[in-house]
Amino acid sequence: MSALPVACLLGPTASGKTAAALAFAARHPVEIVSVDSALVYREMDIGTAKPSAEERAAAPHHLIDIIDPADAYSAAQFRADALRLAGEIVARGNVPLLVGGTMLYYKALTQGLNDLPSADAEVRAALDADAARDGWPALHARLAEVDPQTAARLAPNDSQRIQRALEVFMLSGKPMSALLAAPRIQDREAPYRFVPVALEPSDRAVLHKRIEARFDAMLAHGFIDEVRALRARGDLDLSMPSMRCVGYRQAWEYLDGACGYNEMRDKGIFATRQLCKRQLTWLRAMPERVVVDCCAGDATERVVEAVERILGR
């Protein structure tokens, strides 16, 4: 029995994924599965450009607002959830459409997972304490002693990845580079054939303008107040994955008094552009993808047609 094709609408931030997905949903019985590591968090609506209530009413959405910002959600959890949801959606007679820009999630879904230990709160707390005392460059040097291959590709202040690499070594006794080189864990028989449809810009400057306009719109719609409310909870800090989301760190630092409003805005836009660049790098490493120019006036219609071809509709 041949694998069922499932279209995956991927693209960088501000490329028009939501509009294209809803245009397809207007013609077909679709349920959308979010492929986005920021949309999983509750109370984080404005800065994540979460689909509006009206948009979510137009088609069922999954993997949005599923965890608290104090918690973490892994690529392994996403893979398990996405495969389960695809089966449930098909069983209901509907079409699963995966939509998002977290390429690590897509890679985990389609290529399987490395056998890495799960996050450990105690180990992370200990590493955070060491970093607060000695600085992340010192922990980078520690990593270089036990896993020189991973350390060589990380900047000395890349706190998130240095912490994870040290955590993996401390929990497994093996360097992360060795575990990543091992064969991936995959299902014996994948019931689905995931086909990526990539919204990519023919002119990156167009996307940069959209990113700037979107960030300004977020600010105008109360993004700073949203971050202020998250800070007021008292159980969140910048070391958490939720607060590492693009824009949130910059707004938090602004509220800390570490920078002015204009600097915060510029840093937020720059960070979003850097995210966009990383997303495009991931996409362009997928030779099997169907590319649609997100700068084209008929980009939405092109996406709908591409997905219909993939699904044979």
| Residue stretches of the annotated binding site for substrate | 13-18
Alpha helix (H) residue ranges in the chain: 17-25, 53-58, 75-91, 103-111, 121-134, 136-146, 148-152, 159-172, 176-181, 204-220, 223-232, 248-256, 261-284, 299-311
CA distance 10 to 197: 6
The first and second tokens of residue 21, run together, are 């997905």
φ, ψ at 28 (rounded to 5°): -140, 155
- Upper half-sphere CA count for residue 284 (Cβ side, 13 Å): 10
Closest CA to 291 of 202, 161, 189: 202
DSSP 16-30: SHHHHHHHHHTTS-E
Detail the residues annotated as belonging to a binding site for ATP: 11-18
Detail the residues annotated as belonging to a binding site: 11-18
